[in-house]
Structure 1
Amino acid sequence: MLDGLFGGKWIGFEHFREMFADDRFHNALRNTMGMSSIKLVLTFLAPVAFALILNEIPFARFKKWTQTLTTLPHFLSYVIIATLTMIFLDPKGIINNILQGLGIIKQPIEFLSESSHFWTIGASLDLWQETGWGAIIYLAAITGINTEIYEAAKVDGAGRLRTIWHINLPAIKGTIMVLLILNIGSIIYGGSNFNQSYLLGNVFNRDTSYVLGYYTLDNGLLQMRYAFATAVDLFQSCVSLVLLLLANWGAKKINGSNIF
């Protein structure tokens, strides 16, 4: 054990030089940042909007069922989600049948065999799976607003849109900023990108589905290059720290709200 710890050859930054010279790494980094950026915009704004809409629903039972049904996808195994996705997006699946029935397309689309569709599929799955779950924390913050503020706004003639803009949004502004900072800090890891790449990726869409998580798995476990895989993960950690600090600094400068 001691020989393994202290008897190895010191190679300095050799793994990092190899990593930055590898075209597969460049492709994985581009896909990770591209997919994560799209998901950051969609899956961050959607829960906020959904929470504001749910809060305006006057029917308690309908509101409860809607929240429950939209939260359930978060707890589904990604293996199940990937299987359903492959069934629905099959050339003979329901999506192609609907599009052909509406006259939008004439020939079935090979969604998972064309690399141009992968990012859209990944973002759509995240939007479906996480919108309801992400709205919970915003709903909790909105629920804590004093009802007297709403009554005062109503007396002053404020409609629903003005109430949302001047009361609800300011009440959850701090929560929004904290979650935004944390999401920006983790953008390099990509969240569900690895699951989607591993379960839905194939040789036909590899140009857009190959992400850093899969690159690490490929080098670390499949090729048993553990030191190199550690270097890749260390790179992700360093980038994540820098992004977190920059997001925190930017939030403090712009909004005066930060996490440390």
Structure 2
Amino acid sequence: MAFVDYQPTLGNFWSSLFKSDFVGFQWFEYFFSGQDFVQVMRNTLVSSVLTLSIGFVVPILIAVALNEARLRWFKRVVQTTSYLPYFISWVVAANIIITLLSAEGPINQLLMNWGVVDEGILFLQDGKYFWIIIALANTWKDMGYNSIMYMAAISSIPPELFEAAEVDGAGRLKQIWHILLPMLRPTIIILLILNIGSLLNTGFDQYFLLGNSLNRAYSDVIDTYAFRYGIQNGMFSYAAAVSMFKSVVAFILVVTVNKIAKKMGETHLF
């Protein structure tokens, strides 16, 4: 579909696909030369890098902290609290975030009570706040679920290593730094490779629900851009080309980062 001028009026899907005119790379050239390309790529990359920077570290910290917790009830409460957002749909999560960040919401009330601002900030109406908001929202929603993999890796570490380190006089911080984190290294590298491959796959729901006409210059990413042109404007082939570009870049990133990890002697996918 990305290489033809798809016309859905030529019959059923397959007949319309094969009867449509072949245009080669026309839709890709249209995307690369369009005035929206730079803005969409900027928004996608900046928000993805921010999400990766924050959202990749926080689950590791949660897993390490829970492993060090000694009170079982406290550990269970933190686990449940951190896991719960993952099972909430983005429709519900977006409404929670919109309420918290509204002009008269709890965040603005705290800022005014502390004397940080004199009047409420329109967070979701001012595009300059959008990237950090979406990065924190993604982190909040996925951090508990993502920490499960690290906790599973921690549980497989032989306890004899920690006992030997304790006998040698190593405290908890030294045990974390010299035993726990090095043992987590293979898991961290594998997940990092996969996350880097998903840099352009920012997601659709959160950007569509939290974005609006006032912050579109910052909230319009590849997924929402393809939806707007493909579904709302009926440019199916153009949207397919944009999505195919995203998939090709993701494949190249995974292969490249995996090759770098392999050359450095680290754990790799293939």
TM tier relative to shorter chain: over 0.9
Using the alignment, how far apart are the partners of 1:253 and 1:68 within structure 2? 40
Structure 1 unmatched runs, 5+: none
Aligned to 1:20: 32
Shift of 1:62: 1.0
Show the counterpart of 2:6.
none
Paired letter, 1:115: G
Letter of the aligned partner of 2:49 in structure 1?
A: S
Q: Aligned pair 1:51/2:63, yes or no?
A: yes
Are 1:95 and 2:95 matched, yes or no? no
Match of 2:210 in 1: 200
Deviates more, 1:59-68 or 1:93-102: 59-68
Check conservation: 1:25, 1:212, Cα contact below 8 A: no
Superposed displacement of residue 3, structure 1: 4.9
User: Structure 2-normalised TM-score?
Assistant: 0.92
> CA separation in 1, counterparts of 2:138 and 2:21?
44
Tell me which amino acid in the other structure corresponds to 1:249.
K
Tell me how far apart the structure 2 counterparts of residues 9 and 133 of structure 1 sit (CA, whole Å): 46
**Normalised TM-score (structure 1):** 0.96
2:52 to 34, 37, 40: 40
CA displacement at 1:135 relative to structure 2: 0.9
| Residues 1:250 and 2:260 are matched in the alignment | yes
Give 1:22 shift.
1.4
Q: For the aligned residues, what is the CA RMSD?
A: 1.3
Instruction: Choose the corresponding residue for 1:63, options 57, 68, 75.
Output: 75
1:237, distance to aligned residue in structure 2 (A): 0.8
Report the Cα offset of residue 5 of structure 1.
Answer: 4.0
Task: Give yes or no for contact 1:25–1:215 (8 Å, CA) kept in 2.
Answer: no
**CA shift at 1:247, angstroms?**
1.0
> What percent identity do the matched residue pairs reach?
39
Q: Which of residues 145, 149, 169 in structure 2 aligns to 1:137?
A: 149
Match of 2:174 among 162, 166, 179: 162
| 1:229 aligned onto 2:236 | no
Aligned to 2:86: 74
For residues 176-207 of structure 1, the C-alpha deviation after alignment (integer angstroms, 9 at most, x for no partner) is 1111000000111113xx22221111111111
Residue aligned with 2:22, SS: coil
Q: For 1:138 and 1:3, locate their aligned partners in 2 and report how far apart those are by CA, in whole Å.
A: 49
Structure 2: gaps of 5 or more residues = 1-11
